[in-house]
């Protein structure tokens, strides 16, 4: 950790010697969504559908073993605030068992009183965005002579299953692209000293991915978009 801190100090000195402001920007990566007509018709008639969130073990890609239950809770809370009736996912998993090949959706509907399964099929919080261009203080695009600038983005994918019809009712992928409004990469010495002070307090290795608060906001926004796309 001491080596990382000393490295950061050297980098800070280099940045502090730069008098010009540099900003990097990335273009929004488009979302990929599809909703069946059957799902649209069902949600048009049922304003408060009964849903359950499913999260397969291999759905979440992380660089460590951090607890991600707060993200699942954020999804469920957003579904609740959107008028959905959310079933307990642990209880639902007990009902369907472990063998997905033998799922009887008619029996599942009877036992769980659930209309839709919203499955989080993939969550990747460490998608690397990279560029060798930047914008100066006059918003002119320029190219770095050496090296590139990196930031982490994220993506989440959902699959919706209609239990009554035993069909895939929708597929959705939402992306978080960093620095779409611009991220300043050349900072004042005051800001650099503040960041170094915070870095010195850290005892753990930095997490290579989107920060927790940013990831949580992204998940909430993605769930809002999911509901909107399902109902549109």
Distance (Å, whole) CA 160 – CA 51: 10
Distance (Å, whole) CA 140 – CA 73: 43
**What are the two backbone dihedrals, phi and then psi, of residue 106, each rounded to the nearest 5 degrees?**
-65, -40
Predicted local distance difference test score (pLDDT) of residue 110: 76
Answer yes or no: is pLDDT of 38 > 50. yes
Residue with tokens 């499913």: 54
Angle formed by the axes of helices 2-16 and 189-201, to 10°?
180
Distance (Å, whole) CA 136 – CA 184: 10
Answer yes or no: is pLDDT of 134 > 50. yes
17 — pLDDT class (breaks 50, 70, 90): very low
Predicted local distance difference test score (pLDDT) of residue 210: 82
Predicted local distance difference test score (pLDDT) of residue 94: 78
Q: Which residue has the higher pLDDT, 144 or 94?
A: 144
3 — pLDDT class (breaks 50, 70, 90): very low
Predicted local distance difference test score (pLDDT) of residue 107: 74
Q: Which residue has the higher pLDDT, 54 or 105?
A: 54
Predicted local distance difference test score (pLDDT) of residue 196: 62
Distance (Å, whole) CA 38 – CA 102: 24
Of the segments 50-54, 163-167, 186-190, which one has the largest average pLDDT value?
A: 50-54
User: What are 219's two structure tokens?
Assistant: 């998940």
Distance (Å, whole) CA 118 – CA 113: 15
Which segments within 42-115 are labelled E, that is strand?
Answer: 50-54, 85-86
Answer yes or no: is pLDDT of 116 > 90. yes
Predicted local distance difference test score (pLDDT) of residue 154: 96
Answer yes or no: is pLDDT of 101 > 90. no
Predicted local distance difference test score (pLDDT) of residue 87: 92
In the sheet that holds 116-131, the strands lie side by side as: 32-35, 167-176, 149-162, 116-131, 50-54, 85-86
Q: What number is the average pLDDT over the span 98-118?
A: 74
Task: Give the single-character DSSP code of 115.
Answer: S
Of the segments 12-26, 93-107, 162-176, 189-203, which one has the largest average pLDDT value?
A: 162-176
Share of the chain above pLDDT 70, in %: 76
Predicted local distance difference test score (pLDDT) of residue 80: 96
Are 77 and 69 a contacting pair, CB within 8 Å? no
Chain-wide mean pLDDT for the chain? 82
Answer yes or no: is pLDDT of 192 > 80. no
Q: What number is the average pLDDT over the span 82-101?
A: 78
Q: Which residues pair with 92 in a beta bridge?
A: none
Q: Which CATH superfamily is 23-184+207-231 part of?
A: TolB, N-terminal domain (3.40.50.10070)
Least confident of 43-57, 85-99, 130-144, 180-194: 180-194
């Amino acid at each position: 950790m001491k080596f990382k801190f000393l490295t950061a100090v050297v980098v800070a000195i280099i940045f502090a010697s730069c008098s010009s402001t540099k900003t990097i920007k990335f273009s929004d990566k488009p979302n990929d969504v599809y909703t069946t007509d059957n799902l649209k018709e069902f949600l048009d008639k049922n304003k408060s559908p009964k849903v359950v969130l499913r999260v397969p073990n291999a759905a979440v890609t992380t660089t460590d073993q951090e607890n991600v239950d707060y993200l699942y809770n954020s999804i469920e809370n957003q579904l609740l605030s959107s008028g959905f009736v959310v079933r307990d996912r642990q209880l639902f998993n007990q009902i369907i068992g472990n063998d997905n090949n033998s799922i009887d959706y008619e029996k599942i509907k009877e036992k769980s009183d659930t209309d839709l399964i919203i499955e989080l099929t993939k969550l990747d919080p460490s998608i690397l965005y990279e560029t060798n261009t930047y914008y100066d203080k006059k918003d002119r695009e320029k190219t770095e002579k050496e090296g590139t600038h990196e930031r982490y983005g994220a993506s989440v994918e959902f699959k919706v299953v209609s239990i009554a019809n035993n069909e895939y009712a929708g597929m959705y992928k939402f992306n978080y692209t960093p620095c779409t409004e611009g991220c300043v990469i050349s900072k004042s010495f005051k800001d650099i000293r503040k960041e170094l002070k915070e870095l010195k307090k850290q005892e753990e290795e930095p997490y290579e991915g989107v920060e927790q608060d940013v990831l949580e906001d992204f998940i909430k926004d993605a769930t809002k978009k999911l509901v909107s796309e399902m109902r549109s």
